[in-house]
Amino acid sequence: MMKRRTFIQCSLGAAVASPLIAAVRRDKLDAAAGVLANATADGRIHAAALYVRQIDHQFAKSYGAAKSVDDIFLLASISKPISMAALMTLYDQGMLSLDDLVKKFIPEFTADGRGTITVRQLLTHVSGLPDQLPENQTLRKRQAKLSEFVDLAVRTPLLFKPGAKYSYSSMAILLACEVASRISGQSILNFINKTVFPPLGMKHSELGLDRFALNQVMQCQVMNAAPESGAGDATAKEWDWNSLYWRKFGAPWGGVHASAPDVARFFGEFLHPAGKLFKPATARLMLQNHNRAGLTPRGLGFNIGTAAGSPGCSARTFGHTGSTGTLVWADPATDTICVVLTTLPGRAADPHPRKLTSDRVAMAVL
């Protein structure tokens, strides 16, 4: 494989054919980087990292408390495509079909219409399962185990008839991972950690927190966070995003820790499938729309289409955001991956610096 080159500041001119194009691109990427630099300098963001890869060129910077681009952030919902990739290794091995009924693997998942829900419906957010459990905050306050979330997700009331509409569902992702756990005979946490990160060389990534210490990962600014994540409540210190409980918990819908380059490594396996996780055809399958006409288009674990990126990104773009203040997209049209990781919750600012940065990156690479 061609050796990757870095076009950070003065080295950019050596990484592209035309010095003029190099200077323009460098200036535009520096402008994108300036958004995060300013936001960390004035204290709005505690820590941030930006990683852009276009073809064989890279732009990587860290800000604030993040002293290296390899520093580790809580990804939140960017965890979902990672978890679903682990599940799809079993599909690739012929151990399940997307149209298998979930009850084939979780026999107790049958009451009140659940018996018709397919694996595909879990992955594309049309199952009728809620995003979070009604008991979510109570469970976290008493530091419940992941197995208790699974037990309640199996029984929680559906919001609508399966397949009738689209409704984003973290609990659907949880049950998809429970399917993988029962097939593989491993815990959800162990299965994902062993299946995804080593083959891709993601050395600064982990679901949960075992190999890394709490002081090795960036702390979230929990003020203005999602209500179920503590939202700055002093009484939530034992279970909020920054608690040792939650960091070790290993929620497959939101508990992956990773560096910006590692996130790019994961998305790179879908931008240019090399068979490191599964057959290239399986990678391409995950980026196709699996929802019927009239429903929000959705890949298997991925957001897809122009809305998955920034203005100017193509209809082939795929990506995801995370409520902890993270964002990633990949656009095959420009062969670009953009990763923006911050500690400022997604709902804490509008427009969020991650979006402003992403928009400028899209402008720079077009």
The predicted model gives 16-26 an average pLDDT of 57
**d(Cα 215, Cα 207) in Å, to the nearest integer?**
16
**Tokens 């709490």 sit at which residue?**
214
**d(Cα 254, Cα 257) in Å, to the nearest integer?**
9
What's the pLDDT score for residue 20? 53
Residues 270, 330: contact at Cβ < 8 Å?
yes
Paired residues of 206 in beta bridges: 257
Check residue 60 and report its DSSP letter: E
Residues 87, 175: contact at Cβ < 8 Å?
no
**d(Cα 156, Cα 176) in Å, to the nearest integer?**
15
Is residue 21 over pLDDT 80?
no
Six-digit token string for 310 = 């920034």
How remote is the C-alpha of 333 from its chain's centroid?
21
Residues 260, 51: contact at Cβ < 8 Å?
yes
**d(Cα 5, Cα 195) in Å, to the nearest integer?**
28
Nearest residue to 178 via CA among 164, 191, 169 = 191
Average pLDDT score, the chain: 92
Q: What angle do CA 324, 72, 26 make, to 5 degrees?
A: 90
What's the pLDDT score for residue 1? 42
Is residue 271 over pLDDT 50?
yes
Rounded to a whole number of angstroms, the CA Rg of the chain reads: 20
Query: Left if phi > 0, otherwise alpha if psi is -120 to 50, otherwise beta: which for 250?
Result: left
Q: How many residues does the chain have?
A: 366
Is residue 24 over pLDDT 80?
no
Residues 178, 191: contact at Cβ < 8 Å?
no
Residues 300, 317: contact at Cβ < 8 Å?
no
pLDDT tens-digit profile of 57-112?
Answer: 899 999 999 999 999 999 999 999 999 999 999 999 999 999 999 999 999 999 99
**d(Cα 16, Cα 20) in Å, to the nearest integer?**
9
Domains within the chain, CATH numbers bracketed: 5-80+186-365 (3.40.710.10)
pLDDT tens-digit profile of 314-332?
Answer: 999 999 999 999 999 999 9
Six-digit token string for 57 = 């060129």
What's the pLDDT score for residue 101? 98
